Structure 1
Amino acid sequence: MTAVDTDIERRWELIRSKGPYGLLAFAALLSAATAAELTPGTTRRTAAAVLVAAGFGLQLWWGRASRTRPGPSTAGTWYYTARWALGFALTWLNPFFSFYVAAGYFDADELMSGRRLRWIGPFACAIAVSSAQAGGLPFAAWTQWVLFAGLLVVNSVILTVVGHLTTQQEERSRARAETIAELERTNAALQQALDENAALHAQLLVQAREAGVADERRRLAAEIHDTIAQGLTGIIAQLQVVANAPDLATARTHLDRAAGLARHSLGEARRSVHNLTPVALEHDGLPEALKGTVAEWAERSGVRAEFTTTGTAEQLHDEVSATLLRIAQEALSNASRHARATRVGVTLTFLGDEVILDIRDDGQGFDPLALPERTRTGGFGLPGMRARAERIAGSLTVESEPGNGTALSARVPLVPHE
């Protein structure tokens, strides 16, 4: 219930509890002022005074009794009936006492139990009020009866209309109170849901942060494997050749290559610390970087390698270029370490909204399903290349069988350079 409804209800309660006192006192004053004309005779005046005193006594008694009997009850019905009887008798003695009877218009619903009594009570009050309006009882002429009947009809219609409007207003107030209560329950449920969502959001943020940290760790590990580890492997290979070099010129050549690999690895390490972008892509696009990588690998490994670009080349997003270059570097490293190939072909294809990188070799091949469990699910070989492709919504497929070489294909979305 709103503050306005509470204030209105408080005022109505004041009218119901104090109204009969005021109306009885007002009627008694008017009756005393008109006693000579409307209440002739000592007996009638004495009777009126006694009934007025009885009326005040009845009000005082009900003021105390109503505290223990709130709402419609049998006691309230008897009080209402007794008050009407007193009021009707007083109205018979002096028509101005009909003001006291009119108090029954306001509290029938609060006192009388039973739906019919709540209509009969006000109608009985209308009888007393109409008789006073017609000139007071007893009627001296038939015209007063006709006037009384007309006034009773008018008062009854007014009571019916007012009662109907009052009932509608009460129903609207009740419906509004129920709506407010439902809104309060809904708001409470909504607040609870918001609190739960906030807790879930905080939990998701923690999980996302942990997942991001783990993903970044895997990414850094893959970068180290694809750059520094491969460079160190190349340096070791060149130094092994130096150890068995037949002459100083051959040894110097391989030492120069080892030094070049060391400088390249150092540049990759510094680049990884800053932004993880491959050195080869610092000044060139992906086709040029792949071409240089394939040529350097061929010179270092002694394996014939060819690079081809098909389609209309575009400047790709840095992440896409870095991913494909890292996949190519890992595939070439695997070819030199495991495939024992004599020929390798690398093709970069720009096809609509996709970029495809194919690496093929004529090496000894392998059975993908026969790989050790750790190699298929961990490490930084095929799983690392596949994870790189999937990180940018791409895919990696590998076709190989023993004795028939290996074909690797990475397909990623074509995302232009920003």
Structure 2
Amino acid sequence: MTSVTQPQYRASFDLWGPWVLLSAGVVAAVLSASGVGMDRSGVVACAVLVPAGAALQLYWGRAKRKRPGPGRTGTVLYFVRWAIAFVLTWANPFFAFYAVIGYYTAPRELPRRLVMPGLVLTAVTMAGSEIGGWPPHGLVLWLGFLLVLGVNVCMVSVFTRYADQEQLRVTTQAGTIAELERTNAALQQALDENAALHAQLLLQAREAGIADERRRLAAEIHDTLAQGLTGIIAQLQVVTGTPDPATARTHVERAAALARHSLGEARRSVHNLAPVALAADGLPEALRKTVAEWGERNGTRADFTVTGNAEQLHDEVSATLLRIAEEALSNAARHARAARVGVTLSFMGDEVSLDVRDDGSGFDPAAVPARTRGGGFGLDGMRARAERIAGSVAVEAEPGQGTAVSARVPLVRHEP
């Protein structure tokens, strides 16, 4: 079952309504002619004006198709039709069937300033019909006419006001619907943009994750395999240069231990596990052992100190500081030619610091980027590790004055 909208009702009434009402007026006038006392002049008036009304309606239909809505042509035709309806109602009150169409068409055919005058004129015609026809005879009928006219005008005012409010409501509702459609369109556009942005962010996150993992593996290889191989080479060089079998055996055993340690670190790096030194000990003890082994291996005095109240740190924090210490000690062994190295781990409230100082040859920090541009992971690797956990690394060095590496990271406790 299909529904008929209000514009369809209006189109149908505009097409057939005036004809139906004019026909109803003609039929009623014919049946009531003797009853209302129509004279010859009334019959002649009806014979002339009914065809005139029909012709007017034909012309009006064509004019409306060209220029719908209020306009000069519609205004003239409205008042001409009102005059025809008024005279017909004067001839026979039952032509009010035809005159009543003025109530319907005034708001649609007249400019806003002429709507109320048009409705009042139609009310005059209707009031004359309702008291028995024009003209009223005697004071009583005139008073009755004025009373009926007043009632008609009041009803016209009420219904016009109601129609205006309804039109305002419809207009407001249409504006609201249009605004909602624009808002929905904007929201859909925003959702589409967010979806595209989300996809882009996922792609960037994936690429960043891949790059970060590559950097992690590169740093782990540098901090474990490269340093281990360097230590093994150093031990084997001692073996090739000493005639003492006992000394050679000692250095071979150290080289084998370094190889086993590096192999374990390599496996743990691939699986992203904690360093071997942290498998059984906390960070302070792991650093103590690392510093002692490094000093023994390199024949250098190496001291380790803990300040503050030591706490059990998060695995990532411990691993980061241990790797930074190993890299700093490796740099001291390769470049500093130091006689003494000191490592200090400090617990300072909500921060942990690691300081590695040596009395070696030092260097110019401004020249480091140029030296490491080929892809090294020394100082840059230490900084990258610290920055991943919101920390920082500072380096103080001067040629001939030794080097100090200081790492500061947030104190994040171990999760039970």
Alignment coverage as a number of residue pairs: 414
Q: Give the gaps of 5 or more residues in structure 2.
A: none
CA deviation after TM superposition for structure 1 residue 63, in Å: 2.8
Q: Distance in 1 between matches of 2:345 and 2:373?
A: 26
Q: Are 2:243 and 1:246 equivalent residues in the alignment?
A: yes
| Equivalence for 2:56 | 58
State the AA in 2 paired with 1:315.
Answer: Q
Match of 2:282 among 285, 289, 294: 285
| Equivalence for 1:275 | 272
Partner deviation per Cα, 1:145-202 (whole Å, 9 max, x = no partner): 1111222222122212222221222222222222222222232233223323322332
| Equivalence for 2:21 | 23
CA deviation after TM superposition for structure 1 residue 410, in Å: 0.6
CA 27–374 in structure 1, closer or farther in 2 if over 3 Å, else same: farther
Match of 1:154 among 151, 156, 165: 151
Percent sequence identity is: 63
* 8 Å contact from structure 2 (residues 346, 354) kept in 1: yes
Q: Distance in 2 between matches of 1:157 and 1:235?
A: 112
Match of 1:231 among 207, 218, 228: 228
| Equivalence for 1:296 | 293
State the AA in 2 paired with 1:31.
Answer: A
CA deviation after TM superposition for structure 1 residue 102, in Å: 1.1
* 8 Å contact from structure 1 (residues 394, 412) kept in 2: yes
| Equivalence for 1:204 | 201
Q: Distance in 2 between matches of 1:401 and 1:328?
A: 20
| Equivalence for 2:383 | 386
Secondary structure of the residue that 1:275 maps to in structure 2? coil
More moved, 300-309 vs 17-26: 17-26
State the AA in 2 paired with 1:285.
Answer: G
| Equivalence for 2:119 | 122
* 8 Å contact from structure 1 (residues 340, 363) kept in 2: yes
- TM-score under structure 2 normalisation? 0.93
| Equivalence for 1:35 | 33
State the AA in 2 paired with 1:94.
Answer: N
| Equivalence for 2:75 | 77
* 8 Å contact from structure 1 (residues 39, 45) kept in 2: no
CA 311–376 in structure 1, closer or farther in 2 if over 3 Å, else same: farther
Partner deviation per Cα, 1:97-118 (whole Å, 9 max, x = no partner): 1121110011113223x33332
CA deviation after TM superposition for structure 1 residue 251, in Å: 0.7
Partner deviation per Cα, 1:18-48 (whole Å, 9 max, x = no partner): 3222222333333333222114445534543
| Equivalence for 2:401 | 404
* 8 Å contact from structure 2 (residues 38, 92) kept in 1: no
| Equivalence for 1:330 | 327
State the AA in 2 paired with 1:165.
Answer: Y
Q: Distance in 1 between matches of 2:39 and 2:330?
A: 133
| Equivalence for 1:356 | 353
CA deviation after TM superposition for structure 1 residue 365, in Å: 2.0
CA deviation after TM superposition for structure 1 residue 230, in Å: 0.3
* 8 Å contact from structure 1 (residues 376, 382) kept in 2: no
Q: Distance in 2 between matches of 1:328 and 1:375?
A: 19
Match of 1:135 among 120, 132, 137: 132
Match of 2:192 among 192, 195, 215: 195
| Equivalence for 2:306 | 309
Secondary structure of the residue that 2:193 maps to in structure 1? helix
* 8 Å contact from structure 2 (residues 242, 248) kept in 1: yes
Match of 1:258 among 252, 255, 259: 255
How much is the aligned-residue C-alpha RMSD, in angstroms?
A: 2.2
Q: Distance in 2 between matches of 1:372 and 1:67?
A: 84
* 8 Å contact from structure 2 (residues 358, 402) kept in 1: yes
Q: Distance in 1 between matches of 2:202 and 2:113?
A: 66
CA deviation after TM superposition for structure 1 residue 77, in Å: 2.1
* 8 Å contact from structure 1 (residues 16, 106) kept in 2: no
Secondary structure of the residue that 2:226 maps to in structure 1? helix
Q: Distance in 2 between matches of 1:105 and 1:212?
A: 76
CA deviation after TM superposition for structure 1 residue 60, in Å: 3.4
Secondary structure of the residue that 2:311 maps to in structure 1? coil
Secondary structure of the residue that 2:408 maps to in structure 1? strand
